[in-house]
Amino acid sequence: MVAPQSIPVNAVRTDPSQPEYQALLAWPFAALPFYEGQVLRLLQNDIPHRVKYSSGLVWIYRNLAGDTVGFAALDVCQEYEQFTGGKYHFYIPLLAVHPAFQKRGHGRGIVEHLIAEAALLAQIPVDFSNLLFLDVYTANKGAISLYNKCGFVTLNPDAPIPDPQENNEEYVLMAKSVAVAPE
């Protein structure tokens, strides 16, 4: 199998107080049934909370022409500590590519950037797990395919979890080790 190409994206750190973050709230995810509610809820509540009270980091991504083509967040938390023996681990609350720029390899570039950032954080001499987690609706086949191609494995393929905030839409957990092999 030939690995899909990622397109270079320029990652720019931001935070919820910045105009470029607020502009994300107007992105047109409405065509994607339940994702609009989920994306807005995460942008308005979950991510600001992580930035303020946890270790949440947020980036927007620009293409070579300077268009903002995507955004993503990364946190260090204990959301899925049942898989890490209680240790803090890395977690991607959300990533998205603007609908006008999808299917060009930007999603892959963004996931690779988040994996690299988590791998850097994993080198800090603190007893973190080196697992990077995310959760994704089972209906979001495109995202699951992207995560599989980036090396994530589904932890509960036969036991998806209903999301009470989205009409019990089912989601699965995916994880990947970001440990850097010793030279």
Ligand X SMILES: CC(C)(COP(=O)(O)OP(=O)(O)OC[C@H]1O[C@@H](n2cnc3c(N)ncnc32)[C@H](O)[C@@H]1OP(=O)(O)O)[C@@H](O)C(=O)NCCC(=O)NCCS
| Residues lying near ligand X in the complex (CB under 6 A) | 4, 32, 35, 95-97, 102-108, 136, 140-143, 145-146, 149
Give the shortest CB-81-to-ligand X separation in angstroms.
20
Give the shortest CB-37-to-ligand X separation in angstroms.
12
Give the count of beta carbons closer than 10 Å to the beta carbon of residue 169. 20
CB closest to ligand X, residue no: 107
Pick the closer one to ligand X by CB: 51 or 143. 143
Burial 134-157 (b: 16+ CB within 10 A, else e): bbbbebbeebbebbeebebebeee
Give the shortest CB-183-to-ligand X separation in angstroms.
30
Pick the closer one to ligand X by CB: 37 or 87. 37
Pick the closer one to ligand X by CB: 35 or 128. 35
Pick the closer one to ligand X by CB: 55 or 138. 138
Residue (of 63, 121, 69, 64) closest to 92 by Cα position: 121
Give the shortest CB-72-to-ligand X separation in angstroms.
9
Distance CA(65)–CA(163), nearest Å, equals 38
CA distances from 167 to 17, 36, 172 (A): 30, 13, 15
